[in-house]
Amino acid sequence: MNNNEDDFFVGYLDNVSSKTKKTVKNFVLIGILTLITIAAVFAFTQNTFKNSSFELTTNTKIMGVYHEMPYPMLKVKTAENTFKNILLIGFGKYSANPFLKKIREEASELSGSMLSIEGNLIYYNGKTLLQITSDEKVTLIEKANTKRLPKTKSLVNDMELTGEIVDPKCYFGVMKPGKGKIHRSCAVLCISGGIPPVLATTDENNISEYYLITDQKGNPINKEILPYVGKPSLVTGNVVKIEDWYQLRIDVSSIKELNLPSRIY
């Protein structure tokens, strides 16, 4: 065959010219390299997973002192003279309150009571949450004793903090990585459903801290703060420490949006 002529391939014949073989090999090689390049680019441009955990399929029973300061929590003993306050939330986009209604009817005073609660643990960056899936999994062990309640300590008044308001359920582990505009919409729904709002801050060393947000008197706030969820803002308030949690008491009207792109949503 003249090399200047076009090659011709007949599928039912065994003979394949060297020119056709070379073309097929080049095509396959280029195809493989293209697929590897696309896969590598796709992999390196994805958001990394956080080192958070959500034990969706595992039910864990914990016992501790129930308190509301002002959001439902369980103070759990982890070692001698060492305690951890676990934030309680409900199943779906709801607070723990609907799942605590039945036990509240049993006890005249619930804060300071010893409760046993079974649910799904969520933990990230030293913070732990427990998702309650049924009011049948909340049991009163001992009646209220105010001496068991966690100690509170006022730290700083009129402190200015820069960060973004998130819902702790999705941000701390239910959604991974939990970033993007769709997750901001999810956060708005969660907070409007009663899940406590949290201010997530990051300093120059990329160390994060979290503040449970309340009104100036330490009462829960939810719907008032929805316009600021997921928007980098300057938030001013009084910082109160409740053992291993910070609480930021604010006037919502004083929040100043920074008009910066969100690092979370």
pTM equals 0.79
Domain regions of the chain by residue span: 53-148, 152-257
- The three-point CA angle 229-233-237 to 5° equals 100
The answer, yes or no, to whether residue 229 has pLDDT greater than 90, is yes
Domain 53-148 matches domain 152-257 at the CATH topology level: yes
Task: Convert the pLDDT of each residue in 124-181 to its tens digit.
Answer: 888 999 999 999 999 999 999 999 999 999 999 999 999 999 999 988 877 665 566 7
Instruction: Answer yes or no: are the C-beta atoms of 178 and 184 closer than 8 Å.
Output: no
How confident is residue 234, by pLDDT bands cut at 50, 70 and 90?
Answer: very high
Q: Is 100 helix (H, G, I), strand (E, B) or coil?
A: helix
Q: Which CATH class is domain 152-257?
A: mainly beta
Q: Could you give the 3-state DSSP secondary structure of residue 163? A: strand
Token pair for residue 70?
């002002």
pLDDT band at 235 (very low <50, low <70, confident <90, very high): very high
53-148 maps to CATH 1.10.540: no
Instruction: Say yes or no to pLDDT of 98 above 90.
Output: yes
Nearest Cα neighbor of 265 from 219, 214, 229, 235 is: 229
Task: Summarize pLDDT for 4-37 with one digit per residue, the tens.
Answer: 556 665 666 666 677 777 888 888 899 898 898 8
Q: Quick one: what percent of the chain has pLDDT higher than 70? A: 86
Burial-class residue 127 by CB neighbours within 10 Å (0-12, 13-18, 19+).
buried
How far is it between the farthest Cα atoms of the chain?
Answer: 100
